[in-house]
Amino acid sequence: MGIWKPVRIEGWNDVRIEDTHYVTVSADKKQTKVDVEVELLADEAFDNAKVVISEGETLADRTDRTGVRTVKLEQKPDEFGTSFRL
């Protein structure tokens, strides 16, 4: 049958960023505060591992494009009960 799906080969040294998750803490017209959760994949187990964000050595990097959105739930009494609008 052969290869029937896309194939890729990945290689890295030491540590790589497996996944990222962003949560908007607050946002206004001047600034946005975001909590970032980073999932790392390492070649070996580390005891008491720490991730330090500083101007030091880069072990792994990743660039993501993401947008900041605000979702507001509006519920007001109406003739049918309560509205539900996002």
Question: pLDDT for 36-51, tens place per residue?
Answer: 887 877 777 666 555 6
Total length of the chain: 86
**Structural domain boundaries of the chain?**
12-55
Distances (CA, A) of 43 to 4, 26, 34, 56: 29, 36, 29, 21
Distances (CA, A) of 48 to 34, 45, 51: 25, 10, 10
Higher pLDDT, 48 or 83: 83
Higher pLDDT, 33 or 57: 33
